[in-house]
Amino acid sequence: MKSIFRGLAALALAATGFLASAQEAQMDLPRVALNAGLHRIDAQVAATPEQRMIGLMFRKDMPQLEGMLFVFEQPTVQCFWMKNTLLPLTAAFVDDDGTIVNLVDMKPQTTDSHCSKKPVRFVLEMNQGWFAKKGIKAGAKLGGPPFKG
């Protein structure tokens, strides 16, 4: 019985540690250079479950040429929400070859679900309006090391 309580106490401590780290913006993720035509993107890469869960939460700003690339193990319909995210963002749901499947504008601090129109492994979040200002729409291709083709 004591080992069960110890296990629960360890789990509670781990959860508390995660919640504490989740209250801060993650700024030190690996980066990858991407491009959308002539436009360069400096993307932080969120590849682990914890990195993807925190994403861009708690960020107060993000430079215009930066974004966050979420990388998943398998293609599936990806759905994102904006709870604890302070910035208005646009999510680009991206196929393995870099083709943008669909773009969705997302309002800060909401729990509305925004989903890909088909299974994808990549989601690129940029400041809201970045894609529109560059004339980048669904069907456009992103380039860079993560994308095949």
Each residue's pLDDT tens digit in the chain (149 positions)? Answer: 444 444 444 444 444 444 445 567 898 999 999 999 999 999 999 999 999 999 999 999 999 999 999 999 999 999 999 999 999 999 999 999 999 999 999 999 999 999 999 999 999 999 999 999 999 999 999 999 999 85
β-strand partners of 33: 42
> Token pair of 63, please?
């430079």
Please state the length of the chain: 149
Q: Which two tokens stand for residue 4?
A: 């069960």
CA pair distance 59, 27, nearest whole angstrom: 9
Superfamily the domain 27-143 falls into: Protein of unknown function DUF192 (2.60.120.1140)
85/24 Cα distance (integer angstroms): 11
